Amino acid sequence: MEQLAQQQFTKQFINGEWKDGSSTKSITSYNPYNGEELVTIQAANQQDLDDAYEAAARAQKVWEATPLVEKQQRFEQLVAVLQSKRELIIDWLINEAGGTKLKATSEFNSALRIVKESASFLTRLTGQILPSYVPNKENRVYRTAKGVIGVIGPWNFPFLLSMRSIAPAIATGNGVVIKPASDTPVTSGLLFGEIFEEAGFPAGLVNVIVGRGSEIGDAFVQHPIPSLISFTGSTEVGRRIGELAGYHLKDVALELGGNNVMVVLKDANIERAARAAAFGKFMHQGQICMALNRIIVEKDVHDEFVEAFTAIVSKLKVGDPHDDATFIGPLINREQVDRILVDVEASIQQGAHVQLQGTVNGCVLTPTILTNVKNDMPIASNEIFGPVACIIQADDEAQAIAIANDSPYGLTGSIFTENLHHGVELAKQIKSGMVHINDQSVNDEAHVPFGGEKDSGVGRFNGEWAIDKFTTVKWIGVQNGYREYPL
């Protein structure tokens, strides 16, 4: 890892070349568990950004016209390169993003599935021939690439959530410029430069620009070349991107914040619900857009659930993410810890009860469980993005659904019940893009639509929905013979 840090991962990747950034500023990546400096990168400026987008535009024209068999060979090689770098990628995810070995391995496997699903897009870019009301006319609908896609990567699942846009964009014929998260410049950006370069994709098709948001953030979106900006991150930043893109009439794919619920009904299997809730809440320290934010339990089984849940959570191993047994590692930085503690304390002052008290050691926050939580308390109304669970008691299922919907967010959710059909009917009432019956909320499958409602974002990722997002359609009318006009 040290050898790599001294080579390309300290540079920008533009037009197939590793080069120093042109900014006077720099970006440093740290290991959130021990504070070790991993890489320092000379940041990119506006000129670097221009070069990257121009390179992508040139390469995209060549790539879209590349024969299908060659594109398939490149994706086959991409899979082989990923598999050969499996341990390297997992190691970087642990060191830079603070993910446990379980999380990092799961993230790599999911990213690999995204690539394999995207490879199938090469033969799924179909058009249509439609009839016409005009005699002797044929309506042809062609599907083509949008051109160049700007991808802004996140820091929480940096490799997977960046790949979720990059691989489909490339498979549908686009060029890509990636702006990685400043906390994870390698795993949400620079790794992709190395991977796509080694897999033999055309120089300039994939570019990585590591720069400060204050210097190139707005320009990345406003630049005239990209036709779509894909962003995964906070709703606040997503709004800004949406505003800028809208003014310039660019399309967006925005996967934003969540305030996800698990509704536990009185007929639920409580032990199963408690185990699922522990996973869905504390996987990757709760730093997942899909993580459970609120656990809403019918009063008839509330105490039983709290007891079972607390027993499971209190045994979760916390500490070094390199340890195979660790389930909860560090938060990405100390600012996140301090932010969460403020919401916890404010909620306690408003009447929340501490069922399990967490402790802090650097960026590591051990699990906290709060009961007697009301939906308007900070710990319930804000996206936690950390290892704090809040449990809300509901009088009945109607109140539980009302509480679930009392949020500006609508990403994903969960319902536990032994009556599956009834669970589905209730799931239809929850205003979110995804709901899982008798499972927790953290689910993402490469062929299934992923996305939210309300303040949780715009658009859908994965499968045929990704094909729709990263392509455009054109109507070409073909007149067989000449048409007579009433002139």
pLDDT digits (tens, 9 = 90+) for 412-431: 999 999 999 999 999 999 99
Same domain assignment for residues 298 and 332: yes
Q: What CATH number is given to the structural domain containing 125? A: 3.40.605.10
159-210 pLDDT tens trace: 999 999 999 999 999 999 999 999 999 999 999 999 999 999 999 999 999 9
Query: Which residues are tagged catalytic?
Result: 255
Q: Over 50: is that where the pLDDT of 5 sits?
A: no
Same domain assignment for residues 236 and 280: no
Which residue carries 């005009």 as its tokens? 134
Residue 323 lies in a domain: yes
Same domain assignment for residues 339 and 377: yes
Q: State the pLDDT confidence band at 313, using cuts at 50, 70 and 90.
A: very high
* Burial zone of 429 (CB within 10 Å; 0-12 exposed, 13-18 middle, 19+ buried): middle
Residue 54 lies in a domain: yes
Please state, for a pLDDT cut of 70, what percent of the chain lies above it. 99
Residue 447 lies in a domain: no
474 alpha carbon, distance to own chain's centre: 30
Same domain assignment for residues 222 and 328: no
415 alpha carbon, distance to own chain's centre: 23
What is the Cβ-side half-sphere exposure of residue 242, based on CA atoms within 13 angstroms? 17
The number of residues making up the chain comes to 487
Residue 480 lies in a domain: no
Residue 18 lies in a domain: yes
Q: 335, 350, 343: which is closest to 379 by C-alpha?
A: 343
Same domain assignment for residues 202 and 251: yes
Say how far apart CA 8 and CA 190 lie, in whole Å.
8
Which residue carries 């002797």 as its tokens? 136
Do 269 and 277 contact (CB within 8 A), yes or no?
no
Do 98 and 331 contact (CB within 8 A), yes or no?
yes
Say how far apart CA 147 and CA 61 lie, in whole Å.
8
> What is the pLDDT at residue 129?
98
Q: Over 50: is that where the pLDDT of 6 sits?
A: no
Residue 446 lies in a domain: no
SS3 448: coil
Average pLDDT over residues 291-303: 98
Same domain assignment for residues 242 and 286: no
Q: Over 90: is that where the pLDDT of 2 sits?
A: no
Q: How far is CA 57 from CA 60, 64, 222, 252, 442, in A?
A: 5, 11, 15, 18, 36
Average pLDDT over residues 317-339: 97
Same domain assignment for residues 345 and 234: no
Quick one: tokens of 23? 């900014």
Which residue carries 């008798």 as its tokens? 438
Look over the chain and give the mean of its residue pLDDT values, rounded to a whole number: 96
> What is the pLDDT at residue 445?
96
440 CB contacts (<8 Å, ≥6 apart)?
Answer: 262, 276, 277, 279, 280, 281, 292, 414
Q: Over 80: is that where the pLDDT of 7 sits?
A: no
Same domain assignment for residues 335 and 390: yes
Same domain assignment for residues 42 and 78: yes
Q: Over 70: is that where the pLDDT of 3 sits?
A: no
Say how far apart CA 283 and CA 85 lie, in whole Å.
24
DSSP line for 157-198: SHHHHHHHHHHHHHHTT-EEEEE--TT-TIIIIIHHHHHHHH
Report which secondary-structure segment, H or E, holds 391. Answer: strand 388-394
Residue 449 lies in a domain: no
> What is the pLDDT at residue 8?
73
Query: How many other CB atoms are there within 10 angstroms of residue 302's CB atom?
Result: 18
Q: What CATH number is given to the structural domain containing 326? A: 3.40.309.10
Say how far apart CA 206 and CA 179 lie, in whole Å.
11
Average pLDDT over residues 307-313: 98
- The residue range of the domain holding 415 is 260-437
Q: Over 70: is that where the pLDDT of 335 sits?
A: yes
Same domain assignment for residues 429 and 289: yes
The dihedral through the CA atoms of 41, 44, 49, 50 has a sign that is negative
Quick one: tokens of 86? 């499996």
Q: State the pLDDT confidence band at 4, using cuts at 50, 70 and 90.
A: very low
In the chain, the number of structural domains is 2
Q: 166, 179, 153: which is closest to 205 by C-alpha?
A: 166
Same domain assignment for residues 388 and 402: yes
Question: What's the pTM value of the predicted model, to 2 decimals?
Answer: 0.95
Average pLDDT over residues 279-296: 97
Same domain assignment for residues 319 and 202: no
